[in-house]
Amino acid sequence: MKTLYLDIFSGISGDMFLGAMIDLGVDAKKLEAELHKLKLGEDWHLHVRRASKSHIEGVKFDVHGPGCHDARKYPEPAAHSHGEVMHAHDHSHSHEHEHGGHTHSHEHDCGHDHSGHAHDHGGGEHHDHLEGQSHGPHGGPLVKSRNARVELSVFETNVPPRFRLYFFDAHGHAAKLPAAKDVSLETFRGGKKRQAFKFKAVGDYLEATTELPEPHEFTATLHLKRGTKMERVKTEFVEAHDHHAGGHDHDDHSHDHDHGGHAEHPHGHGRNFAAIKKLIQSSTLSPWVKEKSIAVFHRIAVAEGKVHGHPPEEVHFHEVGALDSIVDIVGSCVALEMLGKPRVLAAPVTEGTGWVNCAHGRFPVPTMATLSILGARGIAVSQCEEPHELVTPTGAALLAEFVESFGPMTGLVAEKIGYGLGTRDNQTRPNVLRAVLGASSSSFIPHPSSLDWETDTIAVLETNLDDINAEILGHFVEKALSEGALDVFHTPIQMKKNRPGVLLTVLCDEAEADKFTELMLRETSAFGVRRSFTERRKLKRQFATVKTEFGAVTVKLGRLNKQTVQAAPEFESCRKAAEQAGVPVKEVYEAALRAAKK
């Protein structure tokens, strides 16, 4: 059976998913042609290029156009310095630009025809890849200097935040960095609190040598030394109503405090679910793509509605109502259809930590919408040490709609492997989505179960000990349980040279395997720990109070397909009732069991 396995060790977003699908063989031109059936009425096009993250080559997918919301959608720096561009249209143009006092030309053959677009390249006209954009490729505001534009990225590093400066020429291409000693920046907060920043060169950007403290609302003045003259450019940083910091720039070439030319940033409220549904239904997309696209949006609308107390049809999308997010969701459905609608499996969901700035304020990761979408489908989520959001609401909705089951690859013969690239450089893992397309052996196919049990994956940690003090062993059991282990136990075993020993076993959440492995190595005499990851099937659990001749007793019930298949009276509740009635605990326990089975 044709199977698509999503290895989401670094999360998932709509653009990463589409990048992976194109890397697997989806034709970008045909994909864009299908998406134009939506009649979005805006000047946009797909921008697809080969690039790398953490030395892993894959596809970076973006949408370019005035209706794009995410900072990730703003054009990447020049293709000739960042990888092969595979636009969904055909076009070629040449232009000249200056680098350090000399002029040279670049010939672009990006593969798309922009006739009919507002940014026509016919006749060799110069094309500015950042024209009309207020933010750069990394989410920071763009400010204009005399000879270039500079992007002031802040939240790219997230925790802790640091300024990063990216320099672009008149065509929106990455420009040669100035000497770090010629660049400095000052921030001014309320009460005229001032902080100065120096920079160092790191790859294709300058990075501040000190961290940026809270709050993240301030005036920033960028100082650029040009020969014997000093140029200053101001911008205002505010907490923006999207996933990135906002900025309004003020040119200050005359060295005064003139704030003229304040750039306005539109903050529309996006489309609501009813409008998006109508847009999809009125298109000429296939019935399957229409059904699945609306289903994905509906999952997000239900989640947002629960958060804000509105019915799904009335939910006003912000991030997800933007043009690029509509393209992500509908495009993902189109891509799956183009791959032959394979069955979809995925690794366990891994999310990061930290905070995000969204349309409704600053929230911890996972966001409310992401957590609600996954929870509604019964999908378990585990957080890792990466201090960023890894799973976006769009990514969560795609998983909830298409993935049949979550777990390790089993019986899958990989025929094609694709990598979809994210924008950020993560700290602990490559920011890529690996997609594996292949055939599953029928003997290994985990068919969707008709049973409504809960599933998850846990870590099983084991070590054999023959020289541990019994008191230390007891202490470890107490400590591990107090720190969140699911269970801890030790089993008598016979070891080499006929020595009696114990097998110490710790069961814990998959994301905490390293934590408890370290605890075992530090707190016991172990020199090593064996680790495995095991799937569980669990009854849905609930607590009920039953009436007995000895009083009310709390009972834990295990339910499967709406039937009670297990009942376990809570011991403390039984003990309390037994003491009050003056009877053995066993009698209360048996009475509670009889009552629970009625």
Domains (ranges, CATH) in the chain? 1-91+266-448 (no CATH), 135-264 (no CATH), 454-538 (3.30.70.1380), 540-597 (3.10.20.300)
How far is the C-alpha of 120 from the C-alpha of 110, rounded, in Å? 13
Tens digit of pLDDT at every position of the chain (598 positions): 789 999 999 999 999 999 999 999 999 999 999 999 998 876 788 989 999 999 999 999 988 765 454 444 333 333 233 345 555 544 434 343 434 334 343 333 334 443 334 343 444 445 566 666 777 777 678 888 877 789 888 755 444 578 889 999 887 888 889 999 999 999 887 656 788 999 999 888 898 988 877 666 688 899 998 888 889 988 877 544 333 334 444 444 333 333 333 333 333 345 788 889 999 999 999 999 999 999 999 999 898 888 777 787 777 665 444 677 889 999 999 999 999 999 999 999 999 998 876 655 577 899 888 999 999 898 999 999 999 899 999 999 999 999 988 999 888 999 999 999 998 889 999 999 999 999 876 544 455 567 888 888 899 999 999 999 999 999 999 999 999 999 999 999 999 888 999 999 999 988 889 999 999 999 999 999 999 988 889 999 899 999 999 999 999 999 998 889 999 999 999 999 999 999 999 999 999 999 998 7
Tokens 């609308």 belong to residue: 301
Half-sphere exposure of 356 (CA within 13 A, CB side): 22
pLDDT of residue 317: 63
What are residue 151's DSSP bridge partners? 142, 166
Q: How many other CB atoms sit within 10 Å of the CB of residue 437?
A: 22
Q: How far is CA 582 from CA 371, 383, 547, 569, 593, in A?
A: 48, 48, 17, 18, 19
β-strands 343-346, 403-406: how paired? parallel
Q: Are 429 and 9 in contact (CB under 8 A)?
A: yes
Evaluated on CA atoms 196, 201, 207, 209, the torsion sign reads negative
Here the tokens at position 462 are: 């084991």
> Would residue 111 be called left, alpha or beta, if left means φ above 0 and alpha means ψ between -120 and 50 degrees?
left
Q: Are 550 and 591 in contact (CB under 8 A)?
A: yes
Q: Are 67 and 322 in contact (CB under 8 A)?
A: yes
Q: Is omega for the bond preceding 408 within 30 degrees of 0, making it cis?
A: no
How far is the C-alpha of 68 from the C-alpha of 139, rounded, in Å? 12
Instruction: Write the single-letter amino acid at 296.
Output: V
- Radius of gyration, alpha carbons of the chain: 29
Residue/partner pairs of 261-267 with CB below 8 Å, 24 or more apart: 263/134, 265/134, 265/240, 267/241
pLDDT of residue 274: 85
Sorted by sequence, the CB contacts under 8 Å of residue 272 that are 6+ apart come out as 313, 314, 315, 316, 317, 321
Q: Are 275 and 316 in contact (CB under 8 A)?
A: no
Q: Are 81 and 173 in contact (CB under 8 A)?
A: yes
Residue/partner pairs of 108-114 with CB below 8 Å, 24 or more apart: 108/79, 108/80, 110/79, 110/85, 111/85, 111/86, 111/87, 112/45, 112/87, 112/88, 113/89, 114/45, 114/89
pLDDT of residue 129: 63
What are residue 58's DSSP bridge partners? 51
How far is the C-alpha of 503 from the C-alpha of 372, rounded, in Å? 40
How far is the C-alpha of 353 from the C-alpha of 384, rounded, in Å? 7
How far is the C-alpha of 581 from the C-alpha of 598, rounded, in Å? 23
How far is the C-alpha of 373 from the C-alpha of 388, rounded, in Å? 19
Q: Whole-prediction pTM value?
A: 0.52
DSSP 8-state assignment for residue 514: H
pLDDT of residue 42: 64
Q: What phi and psi, each to the nearest 5 degrees, are found at residue 436?
A: -115, 120
How far is the C-alpha of 482 from the C-alpha of 477, rounded, in Å? 9
In the chain, how many H helices and how many E strands?
12, 29
Residue by residue, DSSP assigns 460-482 as: EEEEEESS--HHHHHHHHHHHHH
Q: Are 22 and 434 in contact (CB under 8 A)?
A: no
Beta strands in 431-539 (DSSP E): 432-440, 454-465, 487-494, 500-509, 530-538
Rounded to a whole number of angstroms, the distance between the first and last alpha carbons of the chain is 46
Q: How far is CA 166 from CA 120, 150, 195, 202, in A?
A: 26, 6, 21, 11
Half-sphere exposure of 569 (CA within 13 A, CB side): 27
